[in-house]
Amino acid sequence: MFQVKDPRLRTVEEVVSANTGMTAESLLCDRKDYRLDGLDTAAAMLKEAIRKGKIIYIAGDYDVDGISATAILALALKALKANMVLRLPRRFTEGYGLKREMVDRFKNGQFLITVDNGISAMEAVRRAREKGMEVIVTDHHLPVVDEETGEVLYPQANLIIDPNAVPSSADFVGYCGAGIAFKLAVELLGTRHSLIPRLLSFAAIATVADSVPLIGENRRIVKEGLKVMVTKEGTTQGLYALLCTLGMEEYVTAETVGFKLAPVLNAPGRLRDSGSVEVLKLMLYDGPYSEAKCMAERLVEDNRERKELSDRWTERVRETIIKRNMCGHIPIVVYEPDIPEGVIGIVAGRVAETFLSPCILFGQSAETGVLKGSGRSYGGIHLKNLLDKNQSYLIQYGGHGAAVGVSMERENLEPFRLSLIKALSGKECGKEQGDLYDLKIQEDDIGQVMEDIIAFGPYGEGNPAPVFLLENLTLSPVGQTFYRYLQDGKGVKLLSPQLEAVSFGGGKEYQRMGAPRHVTLLGILTTNYFMGKVRNQMEIRKMVPCKAKRSQSPLLYALEAEAKGRYIGRSQTRKEICG
C-alpha cells in the first residue's frame, strides 16, 4: 500500500537536500550577502526625492505580498521623514497592478515606486513619465513577452528591480514583492536600524503567503522573521492584536502563517473593493490596543465569510466541470458568471488539486462583456509561458508559472479554451502522490526526528515537508477513549505519549475502521503550541489499523529496522555542520 519515494534517503537532512538541491551547510549556515542590482541606485533616488520634498507614491497590490511590501516601504520611508501617498488598487473596479487612471490622479513631477507589480504596467508607467515623474518599478513577476517576436517588453521606468525580468541582476531570483521591498528598506536604513525586525516580520509573512521557494535568502527571511514576530520589536500594535486573536502571539511557524494568518490578511480584499486598505491600516497601526483588537476581530470575521463563500463555490464549480464533461481537460478552462471575483483564485487552486489539471477560472467583471479570471497550475505546467503564446485572446494578463491573473472579452472564451487544450495536447500533469513517503519511522524515533525537522525548516514551496510513514503507533487512553473527535466528528485527534496526530477530515474514516488503538499513519510532522506547551504533531494524510506490536530485543529491533530501511540514522547537528 505504502511506497517509499527514494530508498537511498535515510535522514531528514538527506531528504531536504534532495528536495532543495542544497547541501546541509548551505541550508543551515547561510551567511551570504545576496546581490540584487539596483538597490543602491533606488535608495539614492528615493533619498534625493525626499530631500527635494517630492511626494513619493507607493503603488502596491491587494494581496498579502503587495500589502506587506507597501507596509515595509512605507515604514522605511516614514523613518526618513518622506512625504508619501500609499495606493493599493481596488480589486473589483480597477484590478491588479498600476493603471493609467491611477497615475492620472497623481501630481505632476513627483516620484512613483511600485512594489509587487509594475513590470507589465507599460501604459501606466509611460503616463507617469509623461507627467514628469521619476519611476522605479520593483516587482518579482515575469515580464511581458511579444507573442510574435518573442521580444521581452519592459516599462519605460527610470529603474527596474525585478530579478525575474532583468537577466543576471541578482544572485537569487525567488523573492516575493515584500522580500525585494525588505532588501530596499535595509539599503535605505542600514542593517542595525530599530525598524528592521518589524520589516523582517512583514517580509516573512509575505514570503510564506506568496508561496515562493523557501530556499536561498527566502529561507533566512522566514526563519529569522518567525523568531522576531513574537517580540515587541518585531511587530506593530495592529499585527500583535491579530496574532493574539488567532492565538499566535507566543509561537509562530510557517504553517500557522500559511494556514491561519495569511488567509485572514487576504480575506477583506477578497470580499470588498478596497478591503486591502483595511489590512494595510491594521499592519501599520500603532495606536491603542483596544482599537487594534477591534480591527483584528473584523478581519477574522471577514475570513469566516470568505471560507463559506469559497466552500460553496468550489462545490458549484466542481459540479459544472462534471456536468460539462471537462474532467479530462488539460487545462480546465471554466466560466462561472456569478462567482464572486475575490474567491476565484482560491477555487481555481482547489479545482486544480481535485482534477489534477491546471485550472483557469473566469467570472464576470464590472465591465460589460469582459471576463476576469485567475489560473492555478498543476503538475509543473508553466501558466505564464502558456499565456505568452496565447495573448492575442487576452486584454491583460500577468503572473508566473504557478499562478496568473487574466482578463478577456467574453467572445474569446471558447477559442481561448480550445487553443490552450491544443497547446497542451499530449502533456501529462503528473499523478497524485498517493501513498508515497520519504522516511519510515516508529514511535521511538519521534524525538530525534523532530529535532531534525525543526533544524531544517521552515517548509513550504521549494522545500516541501518530508512525508513520514509512522508504523504501529499505540494510542494512549484518555478517560474511556484514546482519541477525540473534532468539528462535530468531521475530524479526529489521536493521542500518544510522543505526539498527537490530527486529521481534520478523517473522523468518519476512523469510525469506519472501528476506532482502533493501534494505527499506522502517513503524514507530515509539525509542532503545535497550545496553552503554553509545545507538542509534536502529525498531520495525517492516511491511516490504517494495525495489530498490537510485539516486544523484541534491541538487537532484533535494530536488525529488523536495517532490513526494512527504517529511520535509524540521524541528521548532523547544526554545530557539526557549521562548526
* Averaged pLDDT for residues 537-559: 69
* Averaged pLDDT for residues 71-92: 97
Higher-confidence position of 482 and 119:
119
Question: Looking at residue 513, what is its pLDDT?
Answer: 86
pLDDT confidence of 554, banded at 50, 70, 90?
A: very low
pLDDT confidence of 535, banded at 50, 70, 90?
A: confident
DSSP class of residue 187 equals H
What are the C-alpha distances in Å from 321 to residues 33, 183, 314, 349, 359? 49, 44, 11, 14, 11
* Averaged pLDDT for residues 341-356: 93
Question: Whole-model pTM?
Answer: 0.89
118 has pLDDT over 50: yes
Per the rule left: phi > 0, alpha: psi between -120 and 50, beta: everything else, 476 is beta
Backbone phi, psi, residue 467, to 5°: -100, 130
Lowest mean pLDDT segment, chosen from 39-43, 533-537, 553-557: 553-557
Give the 3-state secondary structure percentages of the chain, helix then strand then coil, rounded to 5. 40, 20, 40
Question: Looking at residue 486, what is its pLDDT?
Answer: 82
Q: What is the CA radius of gyration of the chain?
A: 25
Within the chain, all domains assigned CATH 3.10.310.30 are found at: 324-423
Whole-number Å distance between alpha carbons of 85 and 106 = 9
Residue that the C-alpha cell 460539462 belongs to: 324
Question: Looking at residue 347, what is its pLDDT?
Answer: 96
Question: Looking at residue 392, what is its pLDDT?
Answer: 93
Query: 3-28+433-578 has which fold?
Result: OB fold (Dihydrolipoamide Acetyltransferase, E2P) (2.40.50)
In 3D space, the residue among 207, 243, 240 whose CA is nearest the CA of residue 222 turns out to be: 207
Residue that the C-alpha cell 467572445 belongs to: 411
Whole-number Å distance between alpha carbons of 417 and 113 = 36
Percent of the chain having pLDDT more than 90? 71
SS3 letters for 342-363?
HHHHHHHHHHHHHHCCCEEEEE
Q: Which CATH architecture has domain 39-301?
A: Alpha-Beta Complex (3.90)
* Averaged pLDDT for residues 538-566: 64
In this structure, which long-range contacts are made by residues 322-328, counting pairs with CB atoms below 8 Å and at least 24 apart in sequence? 327/355, 328/357
In 3D space, the residue among 72, 97, 81 whose CA is nearest the CA of residue 49 turns out to be: 81
Per the CB < 8 A criterion, the answer to whether 121 and 97 are in contact is yes
Whole-number Å distance between alpha carbons of 17 and 60 = 35
DSSP β-ladder status, 436-437 and 3-4: parallel
- Mean pLDDT, the chain, as a whole number? 91
Question: Looking at residue 552, what is its pLDDT?
Answer: 46
579 has pLDDT over 70: no
Lowest mean pLDDT segment, chosen from 301-315, 317-331, 402-416, 507-521: 507-521
Within the chain, all domains assigned CATH 3.90.1640.30 are found at: 39-301
Whole-number Å distance between alpha carbons of 125 and 382 = 27
CATH of 324-423, one of 3.40.190.150, 3.40.50.300, 3.10.310.30, 3.40.720.10: 3.10.310.30
Burial of 476 per CB tally in 10 Å (0-12, 13-18, 19+): middle
What are the pLDDT digits (tens) for 229-262? 999 999 999 999 999 999 999 999 999 999 999 9
Question: Looking at residue 359, what is its pLDDT?
Answer: 96
In 3D space, the residue among 358, 313, 360 whose CA is nearest the CA of residue 338 turns out to be: 313
Per the CB < 8 A criterion, the answer to whether 282 and 245 are in contact is no
Whole-number Å distance between alpha carbons of 304 and 200 = 28
What are the pLDDT digits (tens) for 438-476? 999 988 888 899 999 999 999 988 899 999 999 988 888
* Averaged pLDDT for residues 534-540: 90
pLDDT confidence of 553, banded at 50, 70, 90?
A: very low
Question: Looking at residue 382, what is its pLDDT?
Answer: 93
* Averaged pLDDT for residues 204-212: 95
In 3D space, the residue among 328, 329, 347 whose CA is nearest the CA of residue 339 turns out to be: 347
Percent of the chain having pLDDT more than 70? 94
Within the chain, all domains assigned CATH 2.40.50.140 are found at: 3-28+433-578
What are the C-alpha distances in Å from 191 to residues 31, 199, 208? 14, 11, 22
Whole-number Å distance between alpha carbons of 376 and 284 = 31
| Strands lying side by side in the sheet with 359-364 | 332-335, 359-364, 370-376, 403-409, 394-399
* Residues in the chain, total: 579
Task: Report the run of H or E that residue 323 belongs to, with start and end.
Answer: helix 289-323
What are the pLDDT digits (tens) for 130-161? 999 999 999 999 998 888 888 999 999 999 99
What are the pLDDT digits (tens) for 370-399? 999 999 999 889 999 999 999 999 998 988
495 has pLDDT over 90: no
DSSP β-ladder status, 468-474 and 518-530: antiparallel
What are the pLDDT digits (tens) for 165-186? 999 999 999 999 999 999 999 9
Lowest mean pLDDT segment, chosen from 110-119, 263-272, 427-436, 468-477: 427-436
Whole-number Å distance between alpha carbons of 578 and 58 = 41
Question: Looking at residue 511, what is its pLDDT?
Answer: 82
How many CA atoms lie less than 13 Å away from 545 in the CB half-sphere?
Answer: 10
* Averaged pLDDT for residues 483-510: 84
What are the pLDDT digits (tens) for 260-302? 999 999 999 999 999 999 999 999 999 999 999 999 999 999 9
Q: Is the peptide bond before 331 cis (omega within 30 degrees of 0)?
A: yes
